[in-house]
Amino acid sequence: MKIAVIGAGIVGVSSANWLTKYGQEVTLYDRTDPGTETSFGNAGTYAKYANVPTNSSSFFYLFPYLLLNKNSPLFIRGKYFLKVLPWLTKYLSNCRPSKVKYTSEKLTTLLTKVDEGYAELFKEANIEHLISRESVMYVWSSKLFYNSAIPDFTTRAKTGIDIELLNHDEISEVEPNLNNIFYKGALFKGSYFSKNPKETTEGLLKLFQSKGGIYRQEEVTDIKMNSSDNVEIITDKSRETYDKIIICAGVWSKKLASLFGDNVPLESERGYHISYKNYNPIKRPVAWQERGTYFTPMNNGLRVAGTVEFAGLERELNRKVINFLSRSAKQVFPDIPSHDNEWLGFRPSAPDSLPVIGQSKKNPYIYYCFGHQHIGWSLGGITGKLIAQEAIANKTDIDLTPFSVGRF
């Protein structure tokens, strides 16, 4: 079959690779350089343990604190508040324990297969040198937040991850260069991280091209049904017909899906990073829980990434968020120099914290793979594999019903 994939972030590039591996004729479209949107600036963690949705039950109780505290990683742009309110209401309503349990079970089915989605691709792409096997460490600076996380340890362990709890002194033994202001920590054994997400995505793109895949730097502006059994992609530069199309355009998928009457409540949870070139005091990603902030040792310096801001898709950076990240970095690394790069990305999030994977309900030639919220870097490989199986043969390794666009 002749299949088009729209979007060359980690989800699209992985999907394109799996389709090629399954013998399809694949063209991948992106309006910009591959891997340079949300997949560029994340914390790089393959977070196999991340089956507790961000809108967990404890989040509901902590929400007023997160909204009002000056050290909170949550930001809402004043003029955007009313716009995001319906989404936020749905998001908060999903904090009820029965829903959290359901979400967590569904995320677990994907997270237990993270390695299955990537291992072969990494090997074939020859990019193992970009992957560090040092496991991710969470740290808590307050008893309140640590205690609220305790029930999650059992849930997280269901992904097969071995969690080693650490006391104050043990945190320093694991990472001696941290200013140890922390009460407790946890090591998620078996998790790992990319030392350079952009180079990782580029490596996977090269693999795709080496197997005959075609990459076109074009913006998809429309998709039309033809009278014969195929669909046509119209871009700023060309028109081309395909047997099937897979939309993997991150947060921008909402607009493309709406062309077919699939209205997905996708919101951008904006995240930021700042980076410190050639400064690398730690070996592994360290995630300060109260601050929603990761410190990741990339191969070009320390990346300080995180926060959630609701302010739509405009590109302007909020100085308050940048200052928040830089203040947090200074507390953990008092001798840190000034940062030399600032970045903003758009996590694609549905209010139930599950991605959308599967066929359009309105058009049998259109498939979706987007909405990976906070864990798309981890899930790109396996969801790419699953959507390839679905598009080719409607026969997938796991049941995709819970991820269907029909749930909205």
- Distance of closest approach, residue 153 Cβ to ligand FAD, in angstroms: 19
Contact between 376 and ligand FAD (CB under 6 A)? yes
- Cα gap 396→387, rounded to integer Å: 8
Q: How far is CA 361 from CA 31, 247, 276, 373, in A?
A: 26, 14, 46, 22
Q: Which is closer to ligand FAD, CB of 220 or CB of 246?
A: 220
Cα–Cα separations (whole angstroms), residue 157 to 54, 58, 342: 17, 18, 34
Return the residue of 5, 10, 84, 354 that touches ligand FAD, per CB under 6 A: 10
CB atoms under 10 Å from CB of 249, counted, come to: 27
Residues 286-325 that bind ligand FAD (CB under 6 A): 305-306
Among 43, 52, 171, 207, binds ligand FAD (CB under 6 A): 43
Whole-angstrom Cα distance, residue 131 to residue 256? 33
Only segment of 77-85, 238-246, 375-383, 385-393 that touches ligand FAD (CB under 6 A): 375-383
Rg (CA), the chain: 20
Rounded CA separation 267/94 (Å): 15
**Distance between CA atoms of residues 253 and 371, nearest Å:** 8
Return the number of the residue (172 or 240) whose C-beta is nearest ligand FAD. 240
The answer to whether the beta carbons of residues 275 and 304 sit under 8 Å apart is: yes
Longest CA–CA span in the chain (Å) reads: 69
Q: Establish if 9 lies at the interface with ligand FAD (CB under 6 A).
A: yes
Asked if 188 and 156 count as a contact pair (C-beta separation under 8 A), the reply is: yes
Give residue for tokens 């390695």: 115
Q: What 3-state class would DSSP assign to 381?
A: helix
The alpha carbon of 219 is separated from its chain's Cα centroid by a whole number of angstroms, namely: 22
Token code pair at residue 148: 């609220």
Of positions 24, 45, 56, 94, contacts ligand FAD by CB under 6 A: 45
Query: Which stretch of DSSP H or E encloses residue 324?
Result: helix 319-332
Closest CA to 21 of 207, 199, 202: 207
The residue among 273 and 385 lying less far from ligand FAD, judged by its C-beta, is: 273
Residue 287 C-beta: closest distance to ligand FAD, Å:
9
Pick the binder of ligand FAD from 24, 42, 148, 289 (CB under 6 A). Answer: 42
Q: From 70-78, 148-156, 316-324, 366-374, give the range in contact with ligand FAD by CB under 6 A.
A: 366-374
Q: Does 19 bind ligand FAD (CB under 6 A)?
A: no
Q: CB-based contacts of 303: which residues, under 8 Å, 6+ apart?
A: 41, 43, 44, 273, 274, 275, 276, 294, 295, 296, 297
Interface with ligand FAD in residues 346-365 (CB under 6 A) = 347-348
Nearest residue (CB) to ligand FAD, 13 versus 100: 13
The reply on whether position 53 binds ligand FAD by CB under 6 A is no
Sheet with 192-194: strands ordered across: 45-46, 192-194, 131-132
CB of 254 to ligand FAD, least distance (A): 10
Contacting residues for 164 by C-beta, under 8 A, at least 6 apart: 186, 187, 189
CB 117 → ligand FAD: shortest distance, Å? 11
Q: Which is nearer to ligand FAD, 127 or 375 (CB)?
A: 375
For tokens 């991340």, what's the residue? 50
Q: Which CB, 249 or 386, lies closer to ligand FAD? A: 249
Per rule CB under 6 A, is residue 117 in the interface with ligand FAD? no
Mark the segment that binds ligand FAD (CB under 6 A) among 28-36, 83-91, 127-135, 175-183.
Answer: 28-36
CB closer to ligand FAD, 58 vs 383: 383
Q: How many Å apart are CA 206 and CA 198, to the nearest integer?
A: 12
Give the nearer residue to ligand FAD in terms of CB position, either 167 or 299: 299
Q: How many residues does the chain have?
A: 408
For ligand FAD, which stretch binds (CB under 6 A), given 88-96, 101-109, 143-151, 343-351? 343-351
> Site residues for ligand FAD, window 93-112 (CB under 6 A)?
none
> Among 3, 5, 11, 322, which residue sits at the site for ligand FAD (rule: CB under 6 A)?
11
Interacting residues with ligand FAD between 235 and 274 (CB under 6 A): 248-250, 252, 271, 273
Residue 149 CB-half CA count within 13 A: 23
Sign of CA pseudo-dihedral 43, 47, 53, 59:
negative
Number of residues that bind ligand FAD (CB under 6 A): 41
Give least dist CB 43 to ligand FAD, A.
3
List residues near ligand FAD by CB under 6 A: 6-12, 29-32, 37-39, 41-45, 47, 219-220, 248-250, 252, 271, 273, 305-306, 345, 347-348, 370, 372-378
